[in-house]
Structure 1
Amino acid sequence: MINENDVIETLDELETFLLIIENGGLGLNNVGGIALATNNSNGRPFVAVLDDNHKLLLGRWVTQDVFDNGKDLVRKGPNNVH
């Protein structure tokens, strides 16, 4: 469930995405966590929204820079990094 046209290109965009998820803005149910990951088939990085059973609910591609530098933002949450 990753839209090929949606790419998060900056840390600000990643932060906005995380805030939308935290605030329930996309109407996802049973959100259990958010993680940065890589696609098994091609190694492309993405941010994954996971349910309580660690299954992918939603994903967005991210640039390599966001993947490399957004780990604390994803790990700690947008309100705890600044």
Structure 2
Amino acid sequence: MNIENDVIETLEQLENFLIQVESGALGLKDVAGIALATSNSDGRPFVAVLSDKHELLLGRWVSQDVYENGKDLVRTGPKRN
């Protein structure tokens, strides 16, 4: 899997990550969606940036708290001021 070792520990960090993905700051191409998921090998939670072919473009590990409480943020997207 293409998951970076950085762990997103807070909802604020998750929101900043989503803003970076949406703004193109990470240079990812063909982004079609973002999802919270768990690793099949060890059950560890992560946020996945998916391509239009449902391939993992980028992933970041998330804390259990972010996994449990960040679902609405991922579903609706970050709120920009």
1:30 aligned partner, one-letter code: D
* 1:18-62 deviations in Å (ceiling 9; x for gaps): 000000000000000000000000000000000001100000000
Q: What corresponds to 1:67 in structure 2?
A: 67
Query: Is contact 2:45-2:61 (8 Å) kept?
Result: yes
Coordinate RMSD, CA, aligned: 1.0
- Cα distance in 2, alignment partners of residues 41 and 26 from structure 1: 27
TM-score by length of 2: 0.95
Percent identical residues: 68
Q: What corresponds to 1:27 in structure 2?
A: 27
Secondary structure of 1:29's match?
coil
Q: What corresponds to 1:2 in structure 2?
A: 3
Could you list the runs of 5+ residues in structure 1 that have no partner in the other structure?
A: none
Could you list the runs of 5+ residues in structure 2 that have no partner in the other structure?
A: none
Q: Which consecutive aligned stretches of 4+ in structure 1 deviate over 4 angstroms post-superposition?
A: none
